[in-house]
């Protein structure tokens, strides 16, 4: 099972990807986590990404792809994976398709978590308030101004992926503002339907 989670920042992609990964026994690969780990490790690729992430802009395709594809080539993805935060552009999606096709593989589904912009700003504000109350570190790209920039970048560069995957017939949409458990149930229904519909020579 190879899935891509799509949606604007704050829509709950990571939460749902983590739950699905635990349930189906496949790794959750978050591009954001991988990038932040690269930044924290002072790796050369992290230095290139740091300033871009702090502004809320999208990190250049070649940097993100190098980090993500290295993990996708690891043994832990043998039975599948859930990608969160990648691809974010048509170029990245095409590169991912080529990467998988070269290995005789393909995506099973792209799951979109839909959400309104104003609701996302409110959700992130609440997340930051909770982090401060618990004395937890805040993400460098998690404040109102940067969030608005990230949402704008999503609409400009990432939203076209919806049409890209719709043309492939693998796009499925879920209301990301539903309670977490209800979103999870909707994703479970999508995966169950895909597993029923798949033919013997395909792989969800």
57 belongs to an annotated ligand binding site? yes
Q: What is the pLDDT of residues 91-124, one digit of tens each?
A: 999 999 999 999 999 999 999 999 888 888 777 7
In a domain, residue 58? The reply is yes
Would residue 150 show up in a list of annotated catalytic residues for this protein? Answer: yes
In a domain, residue 88? The reply is yes
C-alpha distances (whole Å) from 73 to each of 100, 141, 180 are 10, 28, 31
Number of structural domains in the chain: 1
* Active-site residue identified among 50, 114, 139, 148: 139
In a domain, residue 47? The reply is yes
Would residue 71 show up in a list of annotated catalytic residues for this protein? Answer: no
In a domain, residue 109? The reply is yes
Task: Give the max Cα distance, the chain.
Answer: 51
Q: pLDDT value at position 49?
A: 75
In a domain, residue 204? The reply is no
98 belongs to an annotated ligand binding site? no
Would residue 13 show up in a list of annotated catalytic residues for this protein? Answer: yes
Q: pLDDT value at position 109?
A: 95
Question: pTM score, two decimals?
Answer: 0.78
Q: What is the pLDDT of residues 158-202, one digit of tens each?
A: 888 999 999 999 999 999 989 999 999 999 999 998 887 664 444
Burial environment of residue 76 by CB neighbours within 10 A (0 to 12, 13 to 18, 19 or more): exposed
CA 48 to chain centre: 21
Strand duo 28-30 + 109-114: pairing: unpaired
In a domain, residue 202? The reply is no
CATH number at residue 142: 3.40.50.300
Outline where DSSP puts E strands in 91-152.
Answer: 109-114
Q: Are 194 and 204 in contact (CB under 8 A)?
A: yes
Give the DSSP letter of residue 115: -
In a domain, residue 159? The reply is yes
Domain span holding position 53? 2-197
């Amino acid at each position: 099972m190879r899935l891509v989670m799509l949606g604007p920042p704050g829509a709950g992609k990571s939460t749902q990807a983590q739950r699905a990964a635990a349930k189906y026994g496949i790794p959750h690969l978050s591009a954001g986590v991988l990038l932040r780990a690269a930044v924290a490790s002072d790796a050369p690729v992290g230095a290139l990404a740091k300033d871009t992430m702090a502004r809320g802009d999208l990190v250049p395709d070649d940097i993100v792809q190098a980090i993500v594809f290295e993990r996708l080539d690891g043994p832990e993805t043998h039975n599948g994976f859930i990608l969160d935060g990648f691809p974010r552009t048509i170029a990245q999606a095409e590169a991912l398709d080529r990467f998988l096709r070269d290995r005789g593989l393909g995506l099973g589904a792209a799951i979109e978590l839909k959400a309104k912009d104003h609701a996302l700003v409110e959700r992130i504000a609440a997340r930051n308030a909770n982090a401060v109350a618990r004395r937890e570190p805040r993400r460098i790209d998690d404040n109102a101004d940067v969030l608005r920039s990230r949402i704008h970048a999503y609409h400009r560069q990432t939203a076209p992926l919806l049409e890209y995957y719709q043309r492939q017939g693998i796009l499925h949409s879920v209301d990301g503002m539903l309670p977490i458990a209800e979103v999870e149930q909707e994703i479970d229904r999508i995966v169950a339907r895909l597993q029923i519909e798949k033919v013997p020579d395909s792989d969800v």
